[in-house]
Structure formats: C-alpha cells, structure tokens
C-alpha cells in the first residue's frame, strides 16, 4: 500500500533524535513541543489519509520569533521541517516524515490589523480561512478565496497551496488576494515580502511563495485583500440531459459577457450522491446540473438571472430552479457543499484536481468514465465550470489495497489526460506527494530543473518538506 515513496529517512538524524528533541526543548516553552507518540499521531497525515508517517516531534509555536528560533536550530542540526496548517491538504502536502519535525502554525491565529480604506487585513497565518471573513463581516467585508474546507483550513495552508474555491471565477484565487507575507526562511531569518501597497517592484517573491507548498519557508503572517460584501447573492439551478448541453450553456453565458460569482457543475453520479445525503431537492432525472450564482441588489440579481435563464433555455435546459429566499439558496448550495462529505459516506474516494480547457469538457468527461470503468471503479464529478477545474471523485474501498492501487492508477490516467488536452495536474490542491511523480508529464527536464534551481535559492539542502512536489530522482542540487 505504499505506492508513493518518501525520501529514505536520514539514519544520522534518527540516531540523534534524543539530542535534537532536547535541543528543541531548551529552545521553546514546554507546551510548544510535542514528543509523546500518542499526541504526535494527530499529525502523521492530512486529508490524503492513505499515507502516514510519524514525525520526530511537533512544534506549535506562538510567535514568528519562536518559529525563527526553531528554524535556525533545525538548519544548524540538519533536521528536516514540514510546515503544517490545519492538515486538510488533499495532496498529502502536510504529511511529515520520520526524520522531520512538524512546525504547525495553528496557534498563530490572531487578527492583527484591519485597514479599512486600504481594504486589507493583517493576520497571523494560522488563522482559519473562515475566521478571516468573520473578522471583517461586521464591517461589511469578506475574504474572497473560499475553499470548501474553509471552516478548518488556515491562511498559511491556503498560501502554501494557492487555494481556490467556488467564487474564484470572479475574485481570483489566493495569489490574487494576498498583498504581503512574513516568512521565516530556512536559516531562521525573517523577511517581509510585499506589503500593504499594491505591486511592489522587483522580483515577485511573494508570488513565488504563494503555491510553494512549504518548500521555501514558513509563512507566519499575511496581509490579505478583503472586499466589500455584495448586497445579496442568489443561485439558480439548471438540469440538463447531457454534460455537453451544460458545457455549452456555460460557454454561452461567458460569451454573453456575464461573469457569475460561481458556476458549479455536477454530473449524474454526483447529483445522486449529494441528493441522497443533503435532500437538497436536486433533479434526479437529468444527466448534468449547474449551480450558477450572481450578486448585487435584488433588481440586479433578477436582471442578470433572467439573462442567464434565457441563455439556458436556448441550450435545452430541462429543469430550472430559481431561489426565492435565503432558505432556498442555502438548500441549493447545501448539496454541492456537502459533496465530499456525502461521497465519503458511501465510499472512500480520491479527489482529483486537474484543470482542462473548458472546450474539452465533453471529451474529458467521456474519457474519464471510460478510464475509471476500465479499472472496475466508479467516478462522480463536481467541478468549477467557469474555470475548467475538475474534481473527479474516484470511489473505492480503502480496506482493499488492490482497489486503492487501482484508484491511484485511474487518478494518474485522468491527470495525464488533463495535461494531454492542454490543462494541468492540479488547479488548486497542489502537488504534494500525490501528484509528485506525475510532474514529468507536465514539465520537461529543463523546466523541472529550473524550478528546482529556484527552490535551491531558499533551501539548498532540501530540508523543507523534502519529499514533496519534485520526483525523488534527478533532484537538482547546487554543486
């Protein structure tokens, strides 16, 4: 069951475990350091639960300075470090290894400063995504990137993965909504990247840090763009006979110059699973479903929804459900938002995250069901339709090692397909360990080397999250 390899634990580090732990204990208050195996177990995996590794120790620092002291110590001692937010990574990005310590930022969770005219909120990076929006909601603001895991996941994890969400079509992903970050580098030095002004000059180190999956440093603070809340928002639900019709409808809406805040697609298996769980009133006699949400005043919403309904009518829509109240809105979203949870109740699943050019949608959906059926498995699809970010959920039984292997192979085939049609391996979940060995499908040797040369500027010894993102073979190291 260990198809994906971790770097071989460094025996020299393991042999010095006690000394290392003692050194850490001398460095930080006692409640910052966790070494008890029972307590460490909570950190041995993330949401990619098929893999787990026990770390040497877990540290939960309370300040940037503590993080810096730990990093300097680890650098000096040659100890690997795996950064952790809430551990909701679906790519195994936060899974530790035996010769590493985990630095978790969950206690760095304070709101530091709301600058209203500047529309920025400065926070410690361990704050949860939802708590950011909650902090500015009384002033009529929100933080736009909204991963479905937003109740738990941290801004640090969002920055490390460049996370997205349902509302990205209009508002962009994490990288478009972060202005600054405080980062502790591998040697324990602290840098402030970006700031509270827009577009700082020079090389965009902040843009590089976003999406770097814990390989370049530990993010401890961030300056986030917050936006005024719309007066209101309302979805409409469409059912279509086929995915082709639904796809064509999405293209036509965009073609008409409308950019809804969200356009979510579900195929028949996903509709059935979500309806059985959430009783959201989804139509069960359709082949595909769209949930499209628009924002504004009541009149603006009515106006835009009417245009969208006209377009859907021109594309063979079979079922139209317009929300007339907050309850109905919640009802429509409830099914979609519980998609992962609902799926988890009927089977184990691997959640894929490839992105494709939307024009390829009908072809990719068809090929995907063929691929998965070829392995004797089932797949359900929910995805962000406006931007082509697919989330096929491959259903399998985790107690059957053979099924897990098949599911992983089906997943790899699907991601390869995404790259072949002009897309990419991951739209918002990150590479982690899950997609690491597929990187050569998307990048040439030179391209991987170029990325690793940049990585080496920050971490020449491969001490930060070393088992992730880049295949273990052919790693580039400075001479």
Residues that bind ligand FAD (CB under 6 A): 46-47, 82-90, 93-94, 105, 125, 147-149, 153-154, 156-158, 160-161, 163-165, 213-214, 218-219, 340, 428-429, 465
Choose between 243 and 331: whose C-beta lies nearer to other proteins: 243
Between 223 and 317, CB nearer to ligand FAD: 223
Per CB under 8 A, 202 contacts other proteins: yes
Q: How many residues bind other proteins (CB under 8 A)?
A: 94
Query: Smallest distance from the beta carbon of 279 to other proteins, in angstroms?
Result: 31
Minimum distance between the CB of residue 43 and ligand FAD, rounded to whole angstroms?
A: 9
Q: Which of 87, 211, 214, 392 binds other proteins (CB under 8 A)?
A: 211
Q: Please identify, using beta-carbon distances, which residue of 210 and 372 lies nearer to ligand FAD.
A: 210
Q: Which of other proteins, ligand FAD, none is residue 84 near (CB under 5 to 8 Å by kind)? A: ligand FAD
Q: Of residues 301-340, which lie at the interface with other proteins (CB under 8 A)?
A: 303-304, 307
Per CB under 8 A, does 358 bind other proteins? yes
Report the nearest approach of ligand FAD to the CB of residue 335 (Å).
15
Binding mask 99-128 vs other proteins (x if CB under 8 A, - otherwise)? ----------------xxxxxx--------
140 binds, among other proteins, ligand FAD, none (CB under 5 to 8 A by kind): other proteins
Which residue, 89 or 323, is less far from ligand FAD as judged by CB?
89
Least distance between other proteins and beta carbon 114 (Å): 10
Q: Tell how strand 120-124 and strand 178-184 pair up.
A: unpaired
Q: Name residue, tokens 């909650």.
A: 134
Least distance from ligand FAD to the Cβ atom of residue 184, Å: 8
């Amino acid at each position: 069951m260990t198809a994906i390899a971790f770097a071989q634990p460094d025996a020299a580090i393991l042999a010095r475990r006690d000394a290392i732990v003692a050194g850490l204990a001398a460095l930080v208050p006692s409640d910052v350091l966790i070494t008890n195996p029972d307590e460490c177990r909570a950190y041995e995996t993330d949401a990619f639960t098929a893999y787990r590794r026990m770390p040497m120790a877990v540290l939960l620092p309370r300040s940037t300075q503590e993080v810096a002291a730990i990093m300097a110590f680890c650098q000096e001692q040659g100890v690997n470090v795996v950064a952790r937010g809430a551990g909701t990574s679906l790519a195994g990005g936060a899974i530790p290894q035996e010769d590493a310590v985990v630095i978790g930022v969950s206690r760095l969770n304070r709101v530091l400063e709301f600058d209203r005219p500047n529309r920025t909120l400065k926070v410690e990076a361990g704050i949860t995504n939802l708590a950011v929006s909650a902090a500015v909601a009384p002033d009529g603001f929100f933080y736009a990137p909204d991963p479905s895991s937003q109740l738990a996941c941290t801004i640090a994890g969002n920055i490390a993965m460049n996370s997205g969400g349902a509302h990205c079509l209009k508002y962009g992903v994490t990288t478009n909504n972060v202005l600054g970050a405080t980062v502790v580098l591998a040697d324990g030095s602290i840098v402030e990247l970006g700031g509270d002004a827009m577009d700082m000059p020079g090389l965009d180190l902040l843009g590089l840090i976003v999406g770097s999956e814990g390989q370049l440093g530990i993010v401890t603070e961030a300056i986030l763009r917050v936006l005024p809340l719309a007066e209101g928002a309302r979805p409409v639900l469409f059912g279509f006979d086929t995915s082709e019709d639904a796809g064509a409808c999405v293209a036509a809406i965009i073609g008409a110059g409308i950019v809804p805040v969200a356009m979510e697609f579900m195929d028949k298996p996903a509709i059935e699973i979500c309806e059985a769980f959430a009783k959201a009133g989804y139509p069960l006699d359709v082949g595909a479903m769209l949930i499209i949400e628009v924002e504004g005043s009541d009149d603006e919403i009515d106006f835009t929804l009417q245009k969208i309904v006209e377009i859907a009518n021109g594309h063979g829509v079979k079922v139209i459900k317009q929300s007339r109240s907050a309850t109905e809105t919640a009802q429509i979203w409830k099914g979609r938002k519980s998609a992962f949870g609902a799926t988890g109740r009927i089977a184990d699943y691997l959640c894929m995250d490839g992105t494709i050019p939307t024009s390829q949608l009908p072809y990719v959906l068809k090929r995907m069901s063929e691929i998965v059926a070829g392995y004797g498995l089932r797949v359900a699809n929910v995805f962000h339709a406006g931007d082509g970010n697919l989330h096929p959920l491959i259903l399998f039984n985790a107690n059957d090692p053979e099924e897990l292997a098949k599911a992983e192979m089906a997943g790899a085939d699907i991601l390869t397909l995404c790259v072949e049609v002009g897309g990419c391996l991951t739209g918002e979940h990150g590479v982690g360990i899950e997609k690491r060995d597929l990187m050569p499908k998307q990048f040439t040797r030179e391209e991987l080397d170029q990325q690793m040369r940049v990585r080496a500027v920050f971490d020449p010894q491969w001490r930060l999250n070393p088992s992730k993102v880049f295949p273990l073979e052919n790693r580039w190291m400075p001479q």
